[in-house]
Amino acid sequence: MKVLITGANGMLAKAVRERFEEEELILTDVEELDITNLEAVETFVESNKPDVIINCAAYTAVDKAEEDLELARKINADGPRNLAIAAKENDCKLVHISTDYVFGGSLPLEETYKEEDPKAPETVYGVTKLEGEENIEENMEKYYIFRTAWLYGDGNNFVRTMTKVALGKKDFLQEERFVTVVADQYGSPTYAADLAQYIYETLEKEIPYGIYHATNDGFTTWYEFTKEIYKILGIECEVRPVTTEEFPRPAKRPTNSKLCKEKLKKAGINIPKWQDALKRYLESDIFGI
Ligand SMILES: NC(=O)c1ccc[n+]([C@@H]2O[C@H](COP(=O)([O-])OP(=O)(O)OC[C@H]3O[C@@H](n4cnc5c(N)ncnc54)[C@H](O)[C@@H]3O)[C@@H](O)[C@H]2O)c1
């Protein structure tokens, strides 16, 4: 299988590269292929003729995006459209990654979001990611869109940050040795290696095209997630819950990010529990802090 990976230096891309290492890979980041340039994308896909494009490129700085709509839209909305057009012209499949932020997060907490539920993004990031999904759906048929959330892997992420904090390598640990973490946002932490595995199995098993929710299994809060990280690592550091209100950010965070994974499970993809995934991540040697 000839696979073109865009945004190949990003956190998810690193996991995808590893999982697909036995395939014929074409690796590009913005320097080699800027996905916002339709002509460049069409020429590149036409001359390389991949069987599948895995789009790992995105504008992922959620807070910064609030002041940067134009660039966020170019990368998150125009980019996927350009890839869809080129993929369609060359009869190539497209795998694209989206986010829980396409939903507003105001669903009652006892409910989970299904793929087709109404969208109500409340941030620039969420709006532009939703536009990216729609642009793919309008331009081609052979696509897989995976909505993921709370991603961690080989790159800056929540797990590394909280570990550095507890080990005193970051300066915002309180003097009394406790950390405060938001306890009223719910979602599923997702190990990038597991998402890469879902992508691999999806292509191997040729499951039906469409949109899938693709996180690890089970739900938690950032507060409980932090406690689990410290428990696995044997770190003694008190974790104190705070509310979202006490911790304001430029971009609104969804309260309910619970994505229902039944569709992906029914398609035959195994979805590991988030605690199991976290353990494997913390045991792996890519945990480079
Ligand atoms: N990180 C998360 O918590 C999270 C949560 C939900 C969804 N996602 C989605 O998962 C995907 C992967 O996220 P990530 O955290 O690995 O991202 P990342 O920020 O680590 O990597 C993004 C990559 O895209 C590249 N890029 C930016 N603009 C480009 C352009 N114009 N052309 C080509 N490449 C360009 C960057 O150089 C970078 O290497 C994204 O679609 C993101 O929206 C991430």
Ligand 1 close to Cβ of residue 29 (< 6 A): yes
Question: Which SS3 state, helix, strand or coil, does residue 243 take?
Answer: coil
What pLDDT, in 10s, does the model give residues 206-243?
Answer: 999 999 999 999 999 999 999 999 999 999 899 999 99
How much distance in Å is there from the Cα of 153 to the middle of ligand 1?
Answer: 12
Give distance in angstroms: CA of 8 to centre of ligand 1: 9
Query: Is 194 inside any structural domain?
Result: yes
Amino acid, res. 211: I
Predicted confidence at residue 285, as pLDDT, reads 60
Assigned domain for 175 exists: no
| Tokens representing residue 32 in the block | 């080699």
Q: Which of 151, 258, 281 to mutate to test the pocket of ligand 1 (most atoms within 8 A of CB)?
A: 151
Residue 148 domain-assigned (yes or no): yes
Residue 151 in contact with ligand 1 by CB distance below 6 A: yes
Residue 148 CA neighbour count, 13 Å, CB half: 27
**Which parts of the chain sit beneath pLDDT 50?**
none
Query: What pLDDT sits at residue 146?
Result: 99
Give a yes or no: residue 150 inside a domain. Answer: yes
Please check whether residue 233 lies inside any domain of the structure: no
Number of domains in the chain: 1
Give the 3-state DSSP-derived string for 15-50, with helices as H, strands as E and coil as C: HHHHHCCCCEEEEECCCCCCCCCHHHHHHHHHHHCC
- Residues spanned by the domain of 93: 2-154+190-217+259-272
Could you please report the per-residue DSSP string of 160-181? Answer: HHHHHHHTTSSTTS-TTSEEEE
Answer whether 82 contacts ligand 1 (Cβ < 6 A). no
Residue nearest to atom 40 of ligand 1 (CA): 58
54: phi then psi, degrees, rounded to nearest 5: -110, 110
How many CB atoms lie under 10 A from the CB of residue 190?
A: 27
| CATH code (residue 48) | 3.40.50.720
Q: Is 125 a catalytic residue?
A: yes
Establish if 43 belongs to a structural domain: yes
- Looking at residue 78, the DSSP 8-state letter turns out to be I
pLDDT at 166: 86
Cα–Cα distance between 6 and 114 in angstroms, integer?
27
Cβ atoms of 80 and 132 closer than 8 Å: yes
Task: Identify the H or E element spanning 5.
Answer: strand 2-6
Locus of tokens 């190539």: 92
CA distances 71 to 124, 181, 250, Å, are 11, 31, 17
- Gap between the Cα atoms of 259 and 218, Å rounded: 9
* In-domain check, residue 16: yes
Q: Residue 201 is inside which H or E element, if any?
A: helix 192-205
